[in-house]
Structure 1
């Protein structure tokens, strides 16, 4: 490396260090030519769901005896940011190679995750050096941020994928919400029909989330959620924010991941809030401290999926969400407006028998629908419509309607 470039990088690190949860890596996998079953290409600097999902897929494929690598394809143009990776990837650096180091890759299946990444010149040039038999382009975020800023262009994405030239290339939405957005936008423009018949949601290693439902809910009921702390993760309106996480003496609001945004919007944290940063405990340990999972992001945010929601379901927590999530999670959650959260929590406390039956059914459905074992099935699926929402048994549906304040016929529920 030229001396002037080394000095430039040192100066850049000093004025702009990696953000929280991201580090500068140096121990990438060595080599420039690879022959593997699965090649996952993504921007490894993305934290949160992207990192967790990519690692889960890597672990599942290798456990099944498939050879797999991850290609780190950054979206940042600054040279000193090229080696930034999310901390979640650090135990797997022997499987990660930078895009600039790739000379040639032969693979059976290419999984490219991240539409912004796919539109970069780095990715376009990388694809000239990848020979794949099949390509899956996973769209894991909306085309717009919560403030309306464009993140990518749907027609341009379809054109880019069509020009790449990999046989059997398709675009896979991460959820029904993103699929509907895609259809809505593309209905107004002509272009190649590359939309896959099934979604490609995140997969979960079920064993990472021990199922430990509360036998009884007693005061104080502990509610909360874990996630990054930024504007899009919290309701914009102060009164709605207070209502979604009620300030009551018999309720404790326990948050992991920070709540500075809440402080700004409310002036101060309510007295019943307890906030911890990430890293204080593991996700499983944190979820074991909750009675109910409550997640109300900004109304302007089109949440593509929400890994934390399935993590809560797998851990045995009833989940309360706004109705916008219903196309994705179906019967796995209870939906309401912010001002209805308090009453819904009271109804949950009053029916331990029905709640236990319901969350057992939710766990079974979530494991069957989103477990890491489904990845191998998805690789073999080409023509089946897999966009349906999770559906539970009649007793569980009746319980959901009662909890959400809807009229429902009496149904015998067996725990």
Structure 2
């Protein structure tokens, strides 16, 4: 009908026809109908554009445009060309042309950032442990976003979340979100994932009839992908029917079909075999297969039988018994070995976990290629051949993995990933070249879980990302889904997301890999290369209950003063023989990435003995719990270890608002933070501002909220190691050109608001150098361009201690609406022996150890100091003495002991 209207050219009828779609969008529950509506939208936009109805055409384009679709981009290019022709022929007025161009430019610049935004929310939900806020954001996006793709993506995540909750009520809610997602979905792969999830929900709810209707609809829509077929397997009554469904999934990957051995009382899983006899490969390099086994006598025969059936015959199969409580595992292996010389057993003297056992086997291996196999899994005969052939054909590839699926003992498929898939990459299948391993990496990391992915990351770090290939093979392994398996999902129990100890381990090894060229781990590691949470340590002497003198909980992903202050307190307390615990708390609006995890400088302090990181799932007691950086207390988080603290202190290093100008943003509220502290730790805290400015802001702007907290009369000053910062070089001569320095983050809060104030304090003058550490983009926006006498060091490019070696006077002025909580960079300059010039607001904190001025008077004071060596030395010593009295490690330990 729309095409007929467009051909007729009835402009009024066309607009009337399109009006409801402009209001409600071009979406429909039926996928084919949605695709038809999309075509209507494209045709309508093009027709209206030709009739110079640019505004209405743009409204349509805004609703249907998908930057990932080629035909959508082609349409925009066509409209751009038509606009250019109309412009050349003067068939368009200037205003209409400008609006049309702006519309097309806006659409062209639209990027498909939905996956990135959704993934950010998913990480906060699953890895960081936020609950309420991510679900609110997803619900808002699902119900109110104008973009169909955005709504569908949010619907999908809400469906998965409810499925993770594993209750009948949540499965029903998940089905509701799946229905909503389907109304906006056009991508077939996405529709297939919806089908898989819907089948699983109906299965868990014992709704076979509804499940059948779902499968029939998916068949009609041609959405049957392997995951859908595996989910449909759950509905089959007999083992034979299930095998038939499994084979329909395997045929998608050209994997020869499987069948079942005769029923002799075994579990269905243990009857798996290959239907056809495949040709053996009797030549080629040897592959060592390592099987770490613990009390595996009942299930080990299935694994060994599947390895004996591998088409790649040149195998060395080493079973490492990890000091099982009975002799069954060894006896089973010896029975197989008696008939197959490729199989042998090694007995561990004591239980050390999966990777210590594998390392023992690796040490005795003789294969050119090495891979692993779980003791209770079954692998298709083509698995090893597939991976070996790939490595032989691609000499630049150092290792590869194949895919697997998890099945219960009766061949049900109920374990899905965070993306809703049942078939996924198998890290334990990692096959690598033994020569590369011996030369560059040594052995697996000797932890309880997660070392497969750590080893893969080492290979990728050393040889590049393309050196390890995750092959889309389809399920060449059937992993037995059992809570008693020796290793379960590499510690990523939240369906593929790292959290708790697994997340900390991932951050730890990622940081270690980035900072160290030598990634070789010896077999017997007396000292670990990096610290890990205690539950991941091998041996039988670890406990989930620890005591610490002090635990510091904060956001350790940020650079800047907050983390630096934490580090100083860690060093001070450790130096006095105290044991320190570290707990991650998270700020909600800080995006998580591996490269922005816990800061490297924090990892350098964590040794696992004197300073340990405490993970979710552990229990700890302490004499004093310090909660630094209140924004981490604002949003409720669930991945908090259980801590029983005698005393709790909140160190208020910034007020609740970002600033107190018209654009100020609420960072936290006293009420909500106090409630969350009580929820986490069972008691109330004492709140300590880190300086007079924060205290003043609390009373001035939040006086009516202070009843929610117990505000101490004592400020909790930041500290510094004055000996470490002291500048031992002589001050420069008055004859030398004056060097003014400042160090801060490059933020609008950190600079004066006006050009006049900036140039007064940091002059554009040939007789002065201005050294700036931390970036100058904010100043450049205000000034237009940077003066030639300014020397810029980007944030993090130079250690502040080295920066302070080259300046004469430290001058700092900021936005007057900004409340500088403490000014860590100030005491660093003072400790270095550099005179400091500050605005008057700092006087309550620094008294006469600093010199106070306005931007207009600061330069003259600096020049006078520089010209008078005696006055310069007197001011520098006064500042250092004050820092030693008020902000030293010794002062901090006196403070700490008063609370213990």
TM-score normalised per structure 2: 0.38
The answer to whether the Cα contact below 8 Å between 2:826 and 2:836 also exists between their aligned partners in 1 is yes
- How far apart, in 2, do the equivalents of 1:159 and 1:192 lie? 9
1:74-101 C-alpha deviation (Å, 9 max, x unpaired):
2237995487122322313445777753
In the alignment, which of 101, 118, 134 is matched to residue 633 of structure 2? 118
1:188 pairs with 2:670: no
The answer to whether the Cα contact below 8 Å between 1:217 and 1:291 also exists between their aligned partners in 2 is no
RMSD: 2.9
- After superposition, the Cα gap between the structure-2 partners of 1:314 and 1:79, relative to the gap in structure 1 and judged at 3 Å, is closer
- How far apart, in 2, do the equivalents of 1:77 and 1:226 lie? 25
In the alignment, which of 75, 82, 86 is matched to residue 599 of structure 2? 86
SS at match of 1:121: coil
In the alignment, which of 680, 683, 688 is matched to residue 172 of structure 1? 688
Task: Give runs of ≥4 in structure 1 deviating > 6 Å.
Answer: 96-99
- After superposition, the Cα gap between the structure-2 partners of 1:106 and 1:189, relative to the gap in structure 1 and judged at 3 Å, is closer
Which has the bigger relative contact order, CA under 8 A and spacing at least 6? 1
1:310 pairs with 2:827: yes
1:51 pairs with 2:51: no
1:75 pairs with 2:587: yes
SS at match of 2:787: coil
The answer to whether the Cα contact below 8 Å between 1:318 and 1:333 also exists between their aligned partners in 2 is yes
1:254 pairs with 2:771: yes
- After superposition, the Cα gap between the structure-2 partners of 1:179 and 1:267, relative to the gap in structure 1 and judged at 3 Å, is same
* TM-fit CA distance, 1:320: 1.1
- After superposition, the Cα gap between the structure-2 partners of 1:328 and 1:161, relative to the gap in structure 1 and judged at 3 Å, is farther
Runs of at least 5 residues in structure 2 that lack an aligned partner in the other structure: 1-126, 128-415, 426-456, 458-505, 510-530, 536-543
Q: Tell me how many residue pairs correspond in the alignment.
A: 366
Q: 2:393 is matched with which residue?
A: none
* TM-fit CA distance, 1:111: 0.7
In the alignment, which of 654, 660, 668 is matched to residue 152 of structure 1? 668
* TM-fit CA distance, 1:171: 0.4
SS at match of 2:780: helix
Equivalent residues in 2 for 1:268-287 (5 A)? 268-287=785-804
1:42 pairs with 2:558: no
The answer to whether the Cα contact below 8 Å between 1:235 and 1:298 also exists between their aligned partners in 2 is yes
1:31 pairs with 2:544: no
The answer to whether the Cα contact below 8 Å between 2:690 and 2:821 also exists between their aligned partners in 1 is yes
* TM-fit CA distance, 1:350: 3.6
In the alignment, which of 817, 820, 826 is matched to residue 300 of structure 1? 817
TM-score normalised per structure 1: 0.80
Q: 1:396 is matched with which residue?
A: none
In the alignment, which of 701, 718, 726 is matched to residue 202 of structure 1? 718
The answer to whether the Cα contact below 8 Å between 1:154 and 1:182 also exists between their aligned partners in 2 is no
- How far apart, in 2, do the equivalents of 1:111 and 1:178 lie? 18
* TM-fit CA distance, 1:277: 2.2
- How far apart, in 2, do the equivalents of 1:162 and 1:126 lie? 13
SS at match of 2:559: coil
Q: Which shows bigger deviation, 176-185 or 39-48? A: 176-185
Q: 1:103 is matched with which residue?
A: 618
- How far apart, in 2, do the equivalents of 1:281 and 1:319 lie? 20
1:43-93 C-alpha deviation (Å, 9 max, x unpaired):
111211111111111111111111112111122379954871223223134
- After superposition, the Cα gap between the structure-2 partners of 1:120 and 1:218, relative to the gap in structure 1 and judged at 3 Å, is farther
- After superposition, the Cα gap between the structure-2 partners of 1:79 and 1:365, relative to the gap in structure 1 and judged at 3 Å, is closer
Q: 1:138 is matched with which residue?
A: 651
- How far apart, in 2, do the equivalents of 1:345 and 1:184 lie? 33
Equivalent residues in 2 for 1:10-29 (5 A)? 25-27=507-509, 29=532
The answer to whether the Cα contact below 8 Å between 1:227 and 1:256 also exists between their aligned partners in 2 is yes
- How far apart, in 2, do the equivalents of 1:99 and 1:78 lie? 21
- How far apart, in 1, do the equivalents of 2:706 and 2:759 lie? 45
The answer to whether the Cα contact below 8 Å between 1:219 and 1:250 also exists between their aligned partners in 2 is no
* TM-fit CA distance, 1:321: 1.2
- After superposition, the Cα gap between the structure-2 partners of 1:25 and 1:190, relative to the gap in structure 1 and judged at 3 Å, is closer
- How far apart, in 2, do the equivalents of 1:74 and 1:158 lie? 16
1:214 pairs with 2:698: no
SS at match of 1:289: coil
- How far apart, in 1, do the equivalents of 2:798 and 2:555 lie? 26
- After superposition, the Cα gap between the structure-2 partners of 1:232 and 1:99, relative to the gap in structure 1 and judged at 3 Å, is farther
* TM-fit CA distance, 1:120: 2.5
Runs of at least 5 residues in structure 1 that lack an aligned partner in the other structure: 11-23, 383-415
- After superposition, the Cα gap between the structure-2 partners of 1:328 and 1:160, relative to the gap in structure 1 and judged at 3 Å, is farther
User: Quick check: which has more Rg, 1 or 2?
Assistant: 2
Q: 1:353 is matched with which residue?
A: 870
Q: Which shows bigger deviation, 30-39 or 93-102? A: 93-102
Q: Which shows bigger deviation, 205-214 or 187-196? A: 187-196
- How far apart, in 2, do the equivalents of 1:353 and 1:115 lie? 43
